[in-house]
Amino acid sequence: MSGERLAMIDHVATKGVLARGFPGASVVVGRDGAVVWSKGYGSLDWSAESGPVDPSRTVYDLASLTKVVATTTAIMVLYDRGRIRLDDPVARYLPAFRNGERRRVTIRQLLEHTSGLPAGREIPRHMTTSRAVRRLILSTPLQHAPGTVQVYSDVGADVLGFVVEAVSGEPLNDFVRRNVFRPLGMANTRFRPPRGWRARIAPTEYSSRRQRQLRGEVHDETAAALGGVAGHAGLFSTAHDLAVFAQMMLNGGSYNGRHIVKASTVALFTRRSAGWRALGWETCAGGASCGQHMSEHAFGHTGFTGTSLWIDPDQDLFVIVLSNRIHERRDGLVPPAAVLADVRADVADIAELSVLDDGVEPPMPDGTRADRANGWSR
């Protein structure tokens, strides 16, 4: 890879921090089984006393990266072991889905976001127990007939998490810790991080519902109402831990002698199957957080709090950008979303264009998105 080109990551990430698009960020790039770029930018929050970001220690609320790193991976493990089949009806595992059209919803449709379930479910303020919230989510009516319309659904991811629990007989967080994170040595990845981690966790935003600044508590209100463990959100991690996970996926389900799933399972779940979606994963359609140069086989996901993970098997490459872009600035404003959107697309493009095939450098674009800074000011 071209070290000179990789160094351009410094330029775009620093511009994002100086533009106050996010307090700080962890950026890790890996290729051919090695980390080729690992650096922290800015600080954990906007205060002058805040510590610097460290990719090996700074913990971020991953938001919807939970869907793939935890929930989809748990489904992959169960599929790999013959415990579930993709075209099984959800009703086989969850009695709440045995009535009406809901009995036709399958595991595959939940993964592809074609189950007919809505994007989300409002949780009433009076509902204070995770058991009641679980019942409410399981009772969510379909908005469309199963298999007819694709709607990105947090509800569907939560139902997948409930399936994991029903099949495995243990909570989702325990299952993924025992079968994924612990075998991989991902000691800084977990739901409900302990208080001892607080000083190195990047805060998200002030919750009016909970009346406090969130730091080490899941930002998503539905996940919080479920007790901090949900199929769609709740996972916390560092960029270095996610690098281990990404390398496991590139290795076909194994890492450092530890086998998580078969290579055929990784290939099945990351292959485009419904539009530009794979099973649980997104694929790179060109643009957005995966940039313009990743291959058609690249897969990844993003999180609302400011996180992204992209993996390109054609180049044996992964790109991780973690930030807390929703953390309110001192002027009370949330930073423009365009800043992080441009930075992480630039990072993905820089990583891809740093790959040298037979020593030949691919042509570079005329400037970066960060240089143009379109939409960076209000």
Give me the residue spans of the domains in the chain.
Answer: 1-52+284-297+309-378, 59-195+209-283
Model confidence, pTM: 0.97
The predicted-structure confidence for 10-29, as pLDDT tens digits, reads as follows 999 999 999 999 999 999 99
Residue 257 has what pLDDT? 97
Residue 19 has what pLDDT? 95
DSSP 52: B
Residue 378 has what pLDDT? 62
**Catalytic, out of 26, 43, 64, 323:** 64
> Could you tell me the two tokens for 196?
């001892």
Identify whether the C-beta of residue 349 lies closer than 8 Å to the C-beta of residue 315: no
Can you list the residues of the chain whose pLDDT is less than 50? none
| Beta carbons within 8 Å of 36's beta carbon, 6+ residues apart | 1, 6, 29, 30
From CA 265, how far away is CA 330, in angstroms rounded?
Answer: 46
Residue 365 has what pLDDT? 87
From CA 242, how far away is CA 160, in angstroms rounded?
Answer: 22
354 is catalytic: no
The predicted-structure confidence for 208-243, as pLDDT tens digits, reads as follows 999 999 999 999 999 999 999 999 999 999 999 999
Identify whether the C-beta of residue 278 lies closer than 8 Å to the C-beta of residue 270: yes
Fold of 59-195+209-283: Beta-lactamase (3.40.710)
